[in-house]
Amino acid sequence: MPLFGNTFSPKKTPPRKCASLSNLHLLDRSTREIELGLEYGIPTMNLAGQSLKFENGQWVAESGNFTGDRREMQRLRKRNQQLEEENNLLRLKVDILLDMLSETTAESHLMEKELEELKNHSRRRK
């Protein structure tokens, strides 16, 4: 028995005798569907009273139930776009007002400085 050797050596599993004992893989597709009931159809689900079906990798609303909701969705998207445009306009106005404020503040500081210089100059004359 080795002191530092590998003492764990699992036995190999015996090979399988046959891959499958079922002969269903020999049947054609239509027979398998009939025998096993593999005709599922389109997956559907119902969430909060709204029916959805799975098509092309996405959940899509079934046409009958969502006519009002589609209109509402279009209205909300349009309103969202209007609000985004208004928000962008308001941001632009705020930027312009900040620029005007900083310009006015700078002019005010310059005028105060000139006024102080004039006061100091007039005091020297006296």
Going residue by residue through the chain, which has 126 residues, state the pLDDT in tens, using 9 for 90 and above: 556 666 677 778 877 766 666 666 667 777 777 777 666 677 888 877 778 888 888 888 776 545 557 788 889 999 999 999 999 999 999 999 999 999 999 999 999 999 999 999 888 886
Q: Please report the pLDDT score of residue 38 as a whole number.
A: 63
DSSP single-letter state for residue 49: T
Residues 83 and 117 in one domain: yes
Full-model pTM: 0.43
Q: Which residue has the tokens 């589609």?
A: 70
Residues 106 and 91 in one domain: yes
CA dist 97 and 84 (Å) reads 20
Query: What pLDDT sits at residue 115?
Result: 94
Domain that holds residue 105: 66-125
State residue 41's pLDDT score: 73
pLDDT of residue 55: 82
Question: Do 87 and 45 fall into the same domain?
Answer: no
Residue 59 has a pLDDT of 81
**56 belongs to a structural domain:** yes
Q: What is the model's pLDDT at position 84?
A: 97
Tokens standing for 97?
Answer: 């007002």
Q: Is residue 2 part of a domain?
A: no
